[in-house]
């Protein structure tokens, strides 16, 4: 962290452009079909690759009919473990904390169904597809281990990305002994596959020892370096372009085997090669949210205060790598309790390795915790919102640190009033709609950490009054191109239409990782710092120049706004940027900036976004069909750069909560290990009609510690709280406590 | 031998030399005509990302063999805007923030154009949601999509009244 440039805020102000609900800068490109995603690239001489995937979950590939594939008209090359050229790095190695073990045909072992086992390259997509089919693999298969009970349990060294698997504060057993009431909640959550609408695709082209890859990437510089290592070329020989990502949700942050095979194929056939995975192949090697089995115990005293909270989770991972959904950690930072204990167990099953999927750990853990809180409130005869307020934490329950900011109380109040929570009957099965459906209301608290990573940016102010901001930032639907341009405009002291933001390419300064809901905070901090660095240099020129109306103002005495520097003590005395540069004989001036958290703030404060989600469900009294008729959320996430886009992120996340509660469920056949519903007909995600009324409200929150801009993040928090709120509303409608997500009709039939 | 295929796409006539009966309309548009605005989300009729208009009707181009639409008039997302002016559905999508990543968007927009032309949904949000439910949006921009379709329908109706 030595290279932090403290964000100089003296010369520019955030707020002229940032904070405005602008429409998306890339809007026209996206509505006209002109935004290019990886698979849209068609370089000259393009060949097409398709990989064959395993239909068994464990064993070995014993034969592939390579000859049959090769004689199919149009097939150019077939790559199998027998002829796969060497790679500069072991795909089974762990080069860094974001390396997942992956399959790039290093051997004939099969470790899960859907694993890549061969790659066919052909003149057309149709020929490559047919070639892959003709391989007709045979296997020496071993029985698949699927599900919590068939897999091998173990104590994981870590959960999530490097988090300790266990935590304890205080004495939970003493807390339970002292409690007036102890409730237990058991919840299972399923495997979920990210299923971004854009299937992962890559186009690779070699020019000598220079490589260009078009590939969606949530971590552009990291992926560029990984490709360079695998192909033994210097990083500067690799250009990675990722201007638009058709949804990532965590699945496009990590390099995977077929991407390497496509690059290899391009080198072998001496032509550019495109590989786009099929929807079915999205259910294998690309990561998923592991299943969890959670057990919570809540001890409560006569006043409704927690005396102890214990949250245990069993999380599934693959047989060959570790990523454990850190579900129990969702209990660390929310409700005040003198005693807190969390524990994770891993179970190895024959699926691909899980990975971070939108709110990893928080989504499943929050679902468990919010159900448990509801159960405790109901047992006490307390309103579930009142119960949450009684257990409101003024400091972080796990660390005891103060929160950098926490407007959760305001979120509860705003959400409850927008929803109309007052007057909710305590007992279940009390409300019906005009059609006779059972109606229930439930609440859940939303919470998500506010991390920062590291990023750099470069700013240029030109004599013609325009500005350029360069950073390898990532547009994956969250609106980075728009929100970051707003920050850039403020950082440069220019109007938005005078600023160009260049992003999405490894040729630009490292914009860091778009994950953990920390991209706007991190990249935005770098951008603001770079912009103000350029303005500071300009101010130096002007205030030392006798010909400038700003002469003598002192370097700190001027402020940039709308393309002019103004004297802070006399707004009328100002000069245009272009005039300052012109007199200095400069065509432009550059600034640099970095974004990272101040270590002192990181040590002192707990940093989280918060929210409150209120759900109304309607349940058919005869068929038990469940509909979420209303979902209302109120969120506090520090400074909001663009309220229009932030609301879209939040409502999108809340609909992921509907999906978690009622829809998504990847079912692996316990005998074969194959995903049985590996398409959108069987793997349900909400359609438009499933989300009739979803609203997000923003609650003001000023945070002076998360970063100089006060930005937290909104990308993932919407998922948390929502699934629990819906499950609690289902109970309120029916009197039945769901114990598995998604909640199915049969769970309500008694 | 596969005969040559004639398609009129966005008003332009194309002779496509098909040496293969297998390509879908979607793959012909994307890989042979270079019209990559139309997206492939599933390739089996389950997501709607590939929606185009064939002779005015919305179809999933991934489920349509190209040779089965010889001689057809096809409209894709690239053919909606007129001389730099967005089609009212496109404009309404931008204004109502009816997308995030944008990958489903060409299909959503073509579907919305089709739905409005079908005249079944009118202003009724519930019927719009049903009518648009063949188009998945994993980013879940659904609230904006519904508003955009309603908004666009009103604008189109207004335009029609003005041109009478
Ligand atoms: S790509 Fe045609 S419906 Fe999904
Ligand atoms: S905008 Fe991303 S799938 Fe719809």
Q: Tell me what pLDDT residue A2 has.
A: 32
Token readout for A650 is 């939040």
Mutate to test the pocket of ligand 2, among B50, B104, B143 (most ligand atoms within 8 A of CB): B104
Q: Is the peptide bond before A381 cis (omega within 30 degrees of 0)?
A: no
Q: Is the CB of B137 under 6 A from ligand 2?
A: yes
Cα atoms in the 13 Å half-sphere on the side-chain side of A392? 16
Report which bound ligand comes closest to the CA of B39: 1
Biggest CA-to-CA distance, chain A:
86
CATH top class, domain A362-451+603-748: alpha beta
- What is the Cα–Cα distance from A412 to A406, expressed in whole angstroms? 12
- When CB atoms are compared, the residue of A39, A197, A659 closest to B47 is A197
- List of residues 6+ apart from A420 with CB closer than 8 A: none
The residue contributing the CA closest to ligand 2 atom 3 is B137
CATH code of the domain made up of A38-142+196-278:
3.30.365.10
Residues of A in contact with B125 (CB under 8 A): 692
Q: Tell me what pLDDT residue A9 has.
A: 52
Among A residues 632-651, those touching chain B with beta carbons less than 8 Å apart: 644-645, 647-649, 651
CATH code of the domain made up of A2-35+454-595:
3.30.365.10
pLDDT beyond 90 at A618: yes
Q: Are A33 and B77 an interchain contact pair (Cβ–Cβ within 8 Å)?
A: yes
**If pLDDT is split at 50, 70 and 90, which confidence band does A1 have?**
very low
Q: Are A36 and B36 an interchain contact pair (Cβ–Cβ within 8 Å)?
A: yes
- When CB atoms are compared, the residue of B40, B99, B132 closest to A30 is B99
Residues of A in contact with B146 (CB under 8 A): 688
Taking only the tens place, the pLDDT of each residue in A442-474 is 999 999 999 999 999 999 999 999 999 999 999
Q: Tell me what pLDDT residue A157 has.
A: 96
Residues of B in contact with A26 (CB under 8 A): 102
Backbone φ, ψ for residue A374 (5° rounding): -65, -40
- For A482, name the nearest residue in chain B, comparing CA atoms only: B100
How big is the A-B interface in CB pairs under 8 Å? 175
Q: Tell me what pLDDT residue B121 has.
A: 83
Q: Tell me what pLDDT residue B1 has.
A: 62
pLDDT beyond 80 at A109: yes
Chosen from B2, B28, B103 to mutate, greatest number of chain A CBs within 10 A = B103
Residues of A in contact with B100 (CB under 8 A): 247, 477-479, 648-649, 652
Beta bridge partners of A694: A631
pLDDT beyond 70 at A6: no
Q: Tell me what pLDDT residue B4 has.
A: 87
Q: Is the dihedral of CA B77, B79, B80, B84 positive or negative?
A: positive
**Same fold yes or no, A38-142+196-278 and A362-451+603-748:** yes
- List of residues 6+ apart from A641 with CB closer than 8 A: A18, A19, A483, A486, A487, A520, A524, A711
Q: Which residue has the tokens 């405790």?
A: A376
Chosen from B101, B124, B130 to mutate, greatest number of chain A CBs within 10 A = B101
Q: Is the CB of B46 under 6 A from ligand 1?
A: yes
Atom of ligand 1 nearest to the CA of B43: 1
Q: How far is the CA of B95 from the centre of ligand 1 (A)?
A: 26
pLDDT < 50 regions, chain B: none
- Domain residue extents for chain A: 2-35+454-595, 38-142+196-278, 362-451+603-748
Using the Cβ of A477 and the Cβ atoms of chain B, whether some distance falls under 8 Å is answered with yes
The torsion of the CA quartet A319, A325, A328, A333, rounded to 10 degrees, works out to 150
Using the Cβ of A126 and the Cβ atoms of chain B, whether some distance falls under 8 Å is answered with yes
Q: Tell me what pLDDT residue A495 has.
A: 97
Taking only the tens place, the pLDDT of each residue in A421-443 is 999 999 999 999 999 999 999 99
- When CB atoms are compared, the residue of A31, A36, A126 closest to B20 is A126
Residues of A in contact with B22 (CB under 8 A): 126, 130
pLDDT beyond 50 at A254: yes
Q: Tell me what pLDDT residue A13 has.
A: 86
Beta bridge partners of A668: A675
Q: Give the residue-averaged pLDDT of A658-669.
A: 98
Q: Tell me what pLDDT residue A152 has.
A: 86
**If pLDDT is split at 50, 70 and 90, which confidence band does A653 have?**
very high
Helix boundaries (H) for A232-319: 257-269
Q: Is the CB of A197 under 6 A from ligand 2?
A: yes
Classify A330 in phi/psi space as left (phi over 0), alpha (psi -120 to 50) or beta. alpha
Mean of pLDDT over chain B:
95
Atom of ligand 1 nearest to the CA of A680: 4
Q: How far is the CA of A374 from the centre of ligand 2 (A)?
A: 33
Q: How far is the CA of A608 from the centre of ligand 2 (A)?
A: 27
Q: How far is the CA of A685 from the centre of ligand 2 (A)?
A: 12
Q: How far is the CA of B103 from the centre of ligand 1 (A)?
A: 12
Q: Give the residue-averaged pLDDT of A257-285.
A: 98
- Å from B74 to nearest chain A CA? 15
Tell me A689's DSSP state.
G
- For A278, name the nearest residue in chain B, comparing CA atoms only: B42
- Å from A474 to nearest chain B CA? 11
pLDDT beyond 70 at A582: yes
Tell me if A68 sits within 8 A of A134, measured CB to CB: yes
Taking only the tens place, the pLDDT of each residue in A164-216 is 999 999 999 999 999 999 999 999 999 999 999 999 999 999 999 999 999 99
Token readout for B90 is 């496109």
Q: How far is the CA of B49 from the centre of ligand 1 (A)?
A: 5
pLDDT beyond 80 at A750: no
Tell me A461's DSSP state.
E
Q: Are A27 and B93 an interchain contact pair (Cβ–Cβ within 8 Å)?
A: yes
| Closest to B100 (Cα-Cα) out of A649, A707, A551, A510 | A649
Mean of pLDDT over chain A:
96
- Å from A466 to nearest chain B CA? 24
| DSSP structure string for B43-68 | SSSSS-TTEEEETTEEEEGGGSBGGG
Report which bound ligand comes closest to the CA of B141: 2
Q: Tell me what pLDDT residue A3 has.
A: 37
Mind telling me the catalytic residues of A? 716
| Closest to A345 (Cα-Cα) out of A519, A498, A156 | A156
Q: Is the dihedral of CA A352, A358, A362, A368 positive or negative?
A: negative
Strands of the sheet containing A558-561, edge to edge, are A558-561, A564-567, A570-576
| Closest to A563 (Cα-Cα) out of A528, A531, A530 | A531
- For B109, name the nearest residue in chain A, comparing CA atoms only: A31
Q: Is the complex ipTM more than 0.85?
A: yes
- What is the Cα–Cα distance from A741 to A367, expressed in whole angstroms? 9
Among A residues 25-44, those touching chain B with beta carbons less than 8 Å apart: 26-37, 39-40, 42
Q: Is the CB of B73 under 6 A from ligand 1?
A: no
- What is the Cα–Cα distance from A502 to A466, expressed in whole angstroms? 13
Q: Give the residue-averaged pLDDT of A305-321.
A: 98
- What is the Cα–Cα distance from A64 to A56, expressed in whole angstroms? 14
Tell me if B154 sits within 8 A of B67, measured CB to CB: no
Provide, rounded to the nearest whole percent, the portion of chain A with pLDDT above 90: 96
Domains in chain B, CATH or no CATH each: 5-79 (3.10.20.30), 88-163 (1.10.150.120)
Q: Give the residue-averaged pLDDT of A356-367.
A: 98
Q: Give the residue-averaged pLDDT of A568-592.
A: 95
Report which bound ligand comes closest to the CA of A244: 2
Among A residues 690-749, those touching chain B with beta carbons less than 8 Å apart: 691-692, 694-695
| Closest to A117 (Cα-Cα) out of A254, A231, A258, A277 | A258
Q: Tell me what pLDDT residue A5 has.
A: 39
Q: How far is the CA of A425 from the centre of ligand 2 (A)?
A: 38
Q: Is the CB of B98 under 6 A from ligand 2?
A: no
Q: Are A645 and B97 an interchain contact pair (Cβ–Cβ within 8 Å)?
A: yes
Report which bound ligand comes closest to the CA of A197: 2
């Amino acid at each position: 962290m030595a290279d932090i440039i403290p964000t100089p805020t003296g010369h520019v102000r955030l707020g002229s452009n940032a904070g405005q609900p602008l429409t998306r800068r890339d809007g026209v490109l996206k509505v006209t079909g002109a935004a290019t995603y990886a698979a849209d690239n068609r370089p000259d001489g393009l060949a097409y690759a398709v990989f064959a995937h395993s239909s068994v979950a464990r064993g070995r590939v014993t034969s592939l009919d390579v000859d049959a594939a090769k004689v199919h008209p149009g097939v150019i090359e077939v790559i199998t473990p027998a002829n796969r050229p060497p790679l500069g790095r072991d795909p089974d190695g762990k080069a860094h904390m974001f390396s997942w073990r992956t399959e790039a045909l290093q051997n004939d072992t099969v470790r899960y169904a859907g694993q890549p086992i061969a790659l066919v390259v052909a003149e057309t997509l149709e020929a490559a597809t047919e070639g892959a089919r003709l391989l007709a693999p045979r296997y020496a298969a071993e029985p698949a281990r699927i599900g919590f009970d068939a897999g091998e349990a173990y104590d994981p060294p870590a959960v999530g990305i490097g988090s300790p698997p266990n935590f304890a504060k205080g004495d939970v057993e003493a807390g339970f002994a002292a409690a007036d009431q102890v409730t237990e909640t058991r919840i299972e959550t399923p495997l979920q596959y990210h299923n971004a609408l854009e299937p992962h695709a890559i186009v690779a082209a070699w020019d000598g020892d220079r490589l260009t890859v078009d590939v969606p990437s949530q971590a552009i510089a990291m992926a560029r370096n990984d490709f360079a290592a695998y192909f033994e070329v210097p990083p500067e020989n690799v250009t990675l372009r990722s201007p638009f990502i058709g949804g990532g949700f965590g699945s496009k942050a990590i390099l995977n085997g077929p991407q390497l095979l496509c690059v290899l194929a391009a080198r072998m056939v001496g032509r550019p090669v495109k590989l786009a995975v099929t929807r079915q192949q999205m259910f294998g090697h690309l990561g998923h949210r592991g299943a969890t089995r959670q057990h919570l115990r809540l001890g409560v005293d006569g006043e409704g205060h927690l005396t102890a909270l214990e949250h245990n989770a069993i999380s599934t991972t693959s047989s060959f790598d570790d990523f454990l959904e850190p579900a129990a950690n969702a209990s660390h930072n929310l409700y005040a309790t003198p005693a807190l204990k969390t524990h994770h167990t891993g179970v190895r099953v024959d699926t691909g390795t899980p990975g971070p999927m939108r709110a990893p750990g928080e989504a499943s853990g929050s679902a468990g915790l919010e159900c448990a809180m509801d159960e405790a409130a109901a047992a006490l005869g307390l309103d579930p919102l009142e119960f949450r307020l009684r257990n409101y934490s003024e400091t972080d329950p796990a660390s005891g640190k103060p929160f950098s900011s926490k407007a959760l109380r305001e979120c509860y109040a705003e959400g409850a009033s927008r929803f109309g929570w007052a007057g909710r009957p305590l007992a279940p099965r009390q409300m019906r709609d005009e059609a006779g459906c059972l109606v229930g209301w439930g609440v859940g608290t939303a919470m998500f950490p506010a991390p920062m990573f590291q990023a750099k940016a470069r700013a240029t102010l030109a004599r013609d009054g325009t500005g350029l901001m360069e950073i390898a930032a990532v547009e994956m639907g969250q609106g980075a191109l728009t929100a970051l341009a707003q920050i850039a405009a403020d950082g440069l002291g220019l109007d938005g239409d005078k600023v160009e933001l260049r992003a999405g390419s490894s040729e630009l300064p490292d914009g860091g990782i778009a994950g953990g809901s920390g991209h706007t905070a991190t990249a935005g901090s770098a951008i603001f710092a770079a912009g103000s660095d350029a303005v500071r240099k300009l101010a130096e020129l002007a205030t030392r120049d006798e010909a400038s109306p700003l002469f003598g103002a002192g370097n700190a005495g001027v402020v940039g706004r709308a393309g002019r520097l103004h004297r802070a003590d006399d707004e009328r005395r100002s000069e245009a940027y272009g005039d300052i540069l012109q007199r200095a004989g400069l065509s432009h001036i550059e600034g640099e900036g970095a974004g990272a958290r101040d270590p002192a703030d990181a040590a002192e404060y707990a940093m989280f976004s918060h929210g409150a989600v209120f759900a109304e469900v309607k349940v058919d009294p005869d068929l038990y069909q469940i509909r979420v008729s209303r979902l209302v959320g109120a969120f506090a996430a520090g400074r909001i750069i663009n309220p229009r886009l932030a609301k879209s992120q939040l409502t999108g996340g809340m609909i992921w909560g509907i999906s978690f509660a009622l829809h998504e469920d990847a079912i692996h056949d316990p005998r074969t290990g194959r995903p049985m519903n590996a398409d959108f007909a069987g793997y349900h995600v909400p359609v438009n009609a499933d989300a009739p009324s979803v609203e997000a409200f923003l609650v003001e929150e000023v945070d002076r510690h998360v970063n100089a801009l006060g930005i937290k993040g909104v990308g993932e928090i919407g998922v948390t709280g929502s699934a629990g709120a819906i499950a609690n509303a289902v109970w309120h409608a029916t009197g039945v406590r769901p114990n598995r997500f998604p909640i199915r009709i049969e769970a309500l039939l008694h | 031998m596969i005969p040559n295929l004639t398609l009129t796409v966005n008003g332009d006539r194309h002779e496509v030399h098909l040496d293969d009966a297998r390509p879908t309309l979607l793959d012909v548009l994307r890989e042979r005509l270079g019209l990559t605005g139309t997206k492939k989300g599933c390739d089996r009729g389950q997501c709607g990302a590939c929606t185009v208009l064939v002779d005015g009707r919305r179809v999933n181009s991934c489920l349509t063999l190209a040779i089965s639409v010889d001689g057809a008039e096809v409209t894709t997302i690239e053919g909606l805007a007129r001389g730099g002016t967005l089609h009212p559905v496109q404009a309404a999508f931008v204004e109502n923030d009816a997308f995030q990543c944008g990958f489903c968007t060409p299909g959503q927009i073509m579907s919305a154009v089709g739905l409005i032309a079908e005249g079944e949904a009118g202003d009724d949000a519930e019927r719009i949601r049903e009518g648009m439910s063949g188009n998945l949006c994993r980013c879940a921009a659904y609230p904006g999509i519904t508003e955009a379709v309603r908004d666009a329908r009103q604008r189109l109706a207004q335009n029609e009244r003005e041109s009478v």
